[in-house]
Structure formats: C-alpha cells, structure tokens
Amino acid sequence: MTALLLLLGIAVVGSVVPAPVVSLGPGPTFDTLGVVEGKPVVSADGLPNYPTSGHLNMTTVGVTDRITAFQALGLWFSGDHQLVPRFTLYPPDLSEQQVTSENKLEFDSSVANAEAAALTFLKMPTRVTVGALTPGSPSSGVLAEGDQIVAVSGRPVASVPMLLETLRAARPGVPLALRVKRGDDPVRDVSVTPSGYPGDPARAFLGITPATAPAAGDRLSITLGDVGGPSAGLMFTLALVDKLTPGELTGGRFVAGTGTITPEGTVGPISGIRFKMLKASEVGAQTFLVPADNCAEAASDAPDGLQLARVGTVGDAVTALDTLRAGGVPRGCS
C-alpha cells in the first residue's frame, strides 16, 4: 500500500507540478511578402511598389513554458524539441513582463535595422526618425513615432550610427537638446532628460528606437503581431527590397530563412537554426537562407530536400536569389 501511494504521489507531481525547464521547438513561420491579420507584413507608402511572387518566410523558435515533468519527457522523446533550464530564457532577476519588453525592444530594433539595410542596399536617400517609442520613457510626450531627428546637442544627424554615437555621450539626468521635425511642421527644438538604462543605470536611456526612413517623407512599415526577437531582420530586408524593385526576387519559389541584420546590411547568426529549418521544410520551403556563421550547424541538421544558401550580407542573399531564379545553384553550407 505504501509503494502504491508513493507511485500515485509521483504521478500526481509529474502531471501537475511545473518542471524547471522550457521546451524549444519549431515555431510559427510568416511570409514577409504576405498579409497577417489583415495587414501587409511589409509595406512602403509613397514609394513605387512592384509585384512580388513566391514566399520569403521568416522563421521562429517556439517556446513552451510551464510544462509538467511528464509533458517535458513527452516533448523530449518527440525528437524535435529541446529542453533547456527555464532561467536561460526567464532570468530570475527579471519579471516575465520585463522579458517580454526586452524581446519587443529587440524586435523593434530589428525592424529599424531592416529598413535601414534595405534603403542602404538600394542606395536611396534617407533621414533618421523615431522608429519606436517606449511608453512611459523620458521621450514620451516629447517625441512621437515618425519624428525626424535633425540634430542632437547641435550636431546634425545624417545616419542611425551617427545618432547612436552622439547619444553615447549622454548622461542620465542631464537634459539633451534635440532638433526634430514632425510631418510638415517646421523644425523645432525640444529637450529630453534621459533616465538610467534598465539594468545599467550609468547608461542614458531615452526610450526611442532610431530608424532610417526615405528622405522624401515616404514611410516604410513592418508589422507582425507579438513576434519578438531580432532574427527576422534579413527576411524583412529582402521583402522590402523585393517590393521596391522591378522583377520578382524569388521567381515564384518558396524561400525561407533567418538572420539578424545591421543597418549596413551584415547578416548575423541566430539560435535555434535546426527548429527553423524543420518548420520551413514542413510548410513547403524549397530553399533556406542561412547566416554564414550558422552554416556548419545547419549543414549537419538540414532536413532532406531543403536547399541551403549561405549568406553574409544582404547582397549575398540577393545574389543567391538571382542565381536560383536563373536556374543555378547558390553557394551552400557544405
């Protein structure tokens, strides 16, 4: 009887009590050339837009939290999930809301970088704007999304890197003079007093994500619900390039991929490449764009039939797609 009660107790604990792990696996995938929840994922208002075809899918890693020990075992035995300690994604010194907020900040930064990378690749004139604004931050009520930042502390701002370099000299509690332009209004002078950056109180925090926009006042927009993190940058960039240039970049093919992006167009590595390739293959992708630094890992785990293309820059990715469209084989990961 004692042994039976013990087994029953283990069964109850295993099926009810959350395990200190989360499960990583294939997450949702979205076509950056398509529409999600009634809105185009990528749009360019006021600029010439050209027809597109095929797919340019961004991929994600799915996170399953608050799982029981029995559920964890089931996911592990499935072979397409990985268990990791929960604290690696949800540090104990941060609330879940703070983690979500940080993921959103990374996504907003990825969007801003993708817009800059596309405009840089296309050699279009640009201006620096407020791409995103953190509610309740020092800039709230002073700046608004879309405001052009003309100068900071008397220094003209011609690019996002130039703005960031200027802001590095800012100090918490010391007012910062900005010249901004909103819509068709005249340029005006405003003052923002930075606070300490969350987690780094010595660093000035304004609460804005700078973005690069077309110089003529036209607007780029990237919208994708609650997806967080920076790894969709490359695919957002390619979608913008496709929509802003004649010809269809994919040639009608189903292409998926991943990779962070810098404003200059450099593709950076990501985590969870195996899960992203699995999902891409599952939904029918023929080719997967792989950041150069992820190539070794991707080559060892690629699903059968999924063609890999190695990319280190936006230019590499466009070249790979041009090669596919011409019937050739792009540089792979082998």
Over residues 269-320, the pLDDT tens digits come to 999 999 999 999 999 999 999 999 999 999 998 999 999 999 999 999 999 9
In the predicted model, what is the mean pLDDT of the chain? 86
Report whether pLDDT(325) > 80. yes
Report whether pLDDT(168) > 50. yes
Phi, psi of 287, deg, nearest 5: -135, 145
CB-CB contact of 258 with 230 (8 Å): no
CB-CB contact of 37 with 58 (8 Å): no
The domain ranges of the chain are 22-109+218-325, 126-214
pLDDT confidence of residue 76 = 61
Residue range 34-38: average pLDDT? 90
Q: Using pLDDT thresholds of 50, 70 and 90, give the confidence band for residue 33.
A: very high
126-214, what's its fold? Pdz3 Domain (2.30.42)
pLDDT for 118-146, tens place per residue? 999 999 888 999 988 888 999 999 999 99
pLDDT confidence of residue 16 = 47
pLDDT confidence of residue 159 = 85
Residue range 10-35: average pLDDT? 71
Give the burial string for 157-187 (b: 16+ CB within 10 Å, else e). Answer: bebbeebeebbeebebeeebebbbbeeeeee
Residue 26 amino acid letter:
P
Residue with the bigger pLDDT between 10 and 95: it is 95
Note the CATH number of domain 22-109+218-325.
3.30.230
Instruction: Count CA atoms closer than 13 A to 332's CA, side-chain side.
Output: 11
User: Looking up tokens 């007093």, which residue turns up?
Assistant: 193
Residue range 17-33: average pLDDT? 81
CB-CB contact of 316 with 66 (8 Å): no
Residue range 183-198: average pLDDT? 91
Range in 33-47, 90-104, 130-144, 176-190 with the lowest mean pLDDT: 90-104
Beta-carbon contacts of residue 293 (< 8 Å; ≥ 6 apart): 268, 269
Closest CA to 162 of 138, 128, 204, 118: 128
Closest CA to 274 of 248, 249, 254, 300: 300
